[in-house]
A = this chain, B = another copy of it.
């Protein structure tokens, strides 16, 4: 994520947050939608910081705490990156298009209410399982976003048009071809459908995925699920587990012109993908112990950037223009730059305990990037990196998937609806 120079302190977490319960109560009392009824509540118009500067507080924390589920594009893509994620892939166990639509409708309702910090906690009948699993009952919305996509196997599996939508296949949706150094490990390969849950609170993100899994019984099952985290304060670029800033080259989250060029698919795609994007996922194991024993020079030569500042070789500041001639030709930054392509990164770190085979920490990067045309943007970059990137000495790709993420959802629609509507 590019440094957001325009981010002010009012983007940070506020002490005056309202719990799901309190918001639900207020919403019932006022009879108005929660997001609207919360406007202004908790707002501080201004405060003075230690340097004597007046810091404007432009909105309420609760308003900031809710990311709208609806819009031209799906939330969770150019949304400033939240601290925690659960990424999950599902496989449909049903062969009925009606079942798929019913589940997508159910997931839409869940996603809408959970992004507002609401959940169906009516315990009217003791003899039935509770509708919601309950672990997020007292928690604020925490900027939860839920972002959805369809994998290649959704449209065609063993040559079969499973749900009658093959004719509406997205233009560039293919499994990522196997790279020479890949060591992909089941179950982290592909999937019919993906859900990316991101929030400022791990429990809120997990709660969302879990309730998706719960509601899918009989129609779909979870194929893989992976939690991840980043951390960066004051709009700084987060650091990955090699201690380097990750996402410096990203377009600014507010630069919608750049987003059109890099992220959002246009009318070259079927209507349901116009305004959508492709998510490339790679689970990349990072050999932390090996890295930690390598010299600072080796580390910086590997990235082509200074560790502390993030500046490219030959420059002073993180966002200074990259000149590949000024850095080792096999450095990560030089190779990425030389492809002449741009992607939009939204990566998270992961840890999976200790690897029983090596005794080393099992950790790495959930590489997630969004692009409008993976065939032109992501795949050529991956191919070049797979061959020549100096970073390969310290990493191994162990998971891989590609998903077509539909355009944003309009109120009253369900996820991916224009894919299923007859035409």
Interface of A with B (CB < 8 Å)? 9-10, 12-17, 19, 40-44, 47-50, 55, 83-84, 86, 121, 123, 125-130, 132-140, 186-187, 201-204, 206, 210, 213-214, 221-227, 229-234, 236, 239-244, 288-289, 292-297, 299-300, 307-308, 349, 351-354, 356, 359, 361, 363
Contacts and interface: CB of A to CB of B under 8 A. Distances in A.
A300 B297 CA distance: 59
A17 B226 CA distance: 30
B206 A299 contact: no
A27 to B, nearest CB: 15
A42 B49 contact: yes
A126 B222 contact: no
Contacts of A201: 83, 231
Nearest to A229: B202
Contact of A225 (B126, B233, B294, B354): B354
Contacts of A12: 13-15, 17
Given A203-B349, A213-B361, 16 more contacts: A19-B234, A83-B201, A84-B202, A121-B308, A126-B295, A126-B300, A129-B292, A129-B295, A133-B243, A134-B307, A137-B243, A204-B231, A206-B229, A206-B241, A210-B288, A225-B354
A20 B47 CA distance: 24
A398 to B, nearest CB: 13
A137 B224 contact: no
B354 A223 contact: yes
A84 B128 CA distance: 33
Given A15-B13, A226-B353, A353-B226, A130 B299 contact: yes
Contact of A231 (B202, B229, B230, B359): B202
A231 B203 contact: yes
Contact of A135 (B125, B206, B222, B240): B240
A296 B126 CA distance: 5
Contacts of A186: 356
A232 B351 CA distance: 23
Sorted from nearest, which 4 A-B pairs have the closest CB atoms?
A134-B243, A12-B15, A9-B15, A203-B231
Contact of A221 (B9, B133, B292, B359): B359
Nearest to A227: B351
A10 B244 CA distance: 33
Contacts of A17: 12, 233
Contact of A307 (B86, B130, B230): B130
A327 B126 CA distance: 16
Contacts of A135: 239-243, 349
Contact of A134 (B48, B202, B239): B239
A361 B138 contact: no
25 contacts: A12-B13, A12-B15, A13-B15, A16-B50, A19-B233, A40-B50, A44-B48, A47-B47, A126-B297, A127-B295, A129-B294, A130-B296, A133-B243, A134-B243, A134-B308, A135-B239, A135-B243, A138-B233, A138-B239, A206-B349, A222-B361, A224-B353, A224-B354, A227-B353, A352-B352
Nearest to A125: B296
Contact of A203 (B86, B139, B229): B229
